[in-house]
Structure 1
């Protein structure tokens, strides 16, 4: 297992958590456009609506380039919908906003699979100039709090990263049905069925075809308990030929998936192949490493797991609960 942590930088900017309460003492703040602004209601014991109001009155929203939403609850957990509604309704006040991280919450604040999300489509619709969207969570207990997306066309988005311990199949299908002509980096963490991760390889078909993703250069299909099946599909996927990097890490990749990659279409055009946290046997690890080194491909085969190389039931993904 790995810990889910806060990023130190986001969209190329250092992250700065805005002091929201009088007790925290704001002091001198950095120039608005030089940092990625992070809101943390838990730290300042404020309800989100009040935290958002203070944010808008403290920082010039017209110069905000990147925004991270940390814990959006002060004491008792609350739904995420008001956060999406606030960002969407005030989007006109953020002409320079290019990156948003929904759910920058670490493992100490809340486990990833307990982070209840909602329909995040309004954020994309309200911010047509958004270039990077990161999402953390899923919400597997109540259907109305599931992470959801409606198929959209967004001409500016270049990076979409979704970290989840249980990514719903309908979300994966919505990504594949979206028209994202500028998207260069797509990263999906599938998680496990116990936490609502019910996506299958057929759900990935539009992504693997690459039809709606003409600019894609990095594809991450990660943290999956069906990592072997995904690897087998990737081995013949049309989208792979135009990728610069590929990540099938954090999941339960074993010999079946690794063998499919070795015997499938060439991966020698890649600059990087990420397979860390895997269950591949030593001989196949050596073979993959040799093939990559001969072609000049940087390969990450770290975090080899000892358990379950031949037993799917004993394998686990890196991030679930």
Structure 2
């Protein structure tokens, strides 16, 4: 999987790209779409901040409910600090804003592994009524400085959905999320990635999330796209948070028969509405076991393997790949 297309919707609203300078078109009602604001590519005369300024001048921002931050000028060498500052400066003009996605950048604009990021929690602190937040992150370099995603622990009482997409998520982000007080959070989705692109999380680092102590309303947990998917599955097998989940998603990683066996030998999963294990490396007998155990109980199971890729070395060792790395 690679990001070839921009987001099509956010907050249940269809995405609409705010026009570039000189483009003329009828604009939709401010609260009818998720507004995508982006620079027009590398070296563009208009910066993201300038595009946002035009947006604020032409649209009744008091009615805007969802914003999608697309390409800023050079995401490989520049983090979105200026974008975050512009949004915070305009917060009084965005009283209805409930959803933000930071980094809707596709492969022809920048590989996910090269998307620079920064501390994104000031956005959450600055918009205490925000209900959804998503970010796409890699690791940029600027004058010898590594520009990585940061997420220090915070409290946010309104946030219901948090999504972090990465090909290599820093452990400090995982720990920051785990240490955060998010009493309203119902949907948590972390793409953990591979060490080749900066992931350094261990299964033990997920314990604060898996305990569920700070996430009383969590119903959808996705720990996806990990090269340690087997270890995560084993940790999930006895995790207290699982009993309250409706959806458990361990997809897009390197899940093998060992991880599936650990998961199935743990606590019952028959209360789930869905178990998503797509992009896996399971044998047919294990796949059949999962179907037999869960589907008769009404659990929707996704075991699709169509995009799973592996290499076999000369010594017979097999290397399995996560879905999204580079």
Q: With structure 1 as the length reference, what TM-score do the two structures score?
A: 0.94
Distance apart, 1:37 and its partner CA: 0.2
1:42 aligns with 40
Distance apart, 1:122 and its partner CA: 0.5
Unaligned 5+ residue runs, structure 1? none
2:151 aligns with 149
The answer to whether 1:193 aligns with 2:195 is yes
1:141-290 superposed matches below 5 A: 141=141, 144-290=146-292
CA distance in 2, matches of 1:247, 1:263: 17
1:281-300 superposed matches below 5 A: 281-300=283-302
CA distance in 2, matches of 1:143, 1:292: 48
Query: 1:164/1:306 Cα in 2 relative to 1: closer, same or farther (>3 Å)?
Result: closer
* Greater share of helix: 1
Distance apart, 1:140 and its partner CA: 5.5
Q: Give the aligned CA root-mean-square deviation in angstroms.
A: 2.0
CA distance in 1, matches of 2:322, 2:27: 40
CA distance in 1, matches of 2:82, 2:318: 39
State the SS of the aligned residue for 1:161.
strand
* Greater share of strand: 2
CA distance in 2, matches of 1:316, 1:74: 28
Distance apart, 1:108 and its partner CA: 1.8
Distance apart, 1:100 and its partner CA: 0.1
The answer to whether 1:60 aligns with 2:70 is no
CA distance in 1, matches of 2:318, 2:201: 18
Query: 1:284/1:306 Cα in 2 relative to 1: closer, same or farther (>3 Å)?
Result: farther
The answer to whether 1:102 aligns with 2:102 is yes
CA distance in 2, matches of 1:140, 1:195: 11
State the SS of the aligned residue for 1:41.
coil
CA distance in 1, matches of 2:62, 2:103: 22
Q: How big is each residue's C-alpha offset from its partner over 1:269-304, in whole Å with a ceiling of 9 and x where there is no partner?
A: 000000000001110001001111111100000025
Query: Aligned residues, how many?
Result: 319
Q: With structure 2 as the length reference, what TM-score do the two structures score?
A: 0.93
Moved segments of 4+, more than 6 Å: 308-312
Distance apart, 1:207 and its partner CA: 0.0
Instruction: Determine if contact 2:76/2:116 at 8 Å carries over to the other structure.
Output: no
CA distance in 1, matches of 2:268, 2:174: 26
CA distance in 2, matches of 1:170, 1:75: 21
State the SS of the aligned residue for 2:139.
coil
Q: How big is each residue's C-alpha offset from its partner over 1:92-151, in whole Å with a ceiling of 9 and x where there is no partner?
A: 211000000000111221111111100001000000000000100132646651100121
Query: 1:45/1:100 Cα in 2 relative to 1: closer, same or farther (>3 Å)?
Result: same
Unaligned 5+ residue runs, structure 2? none
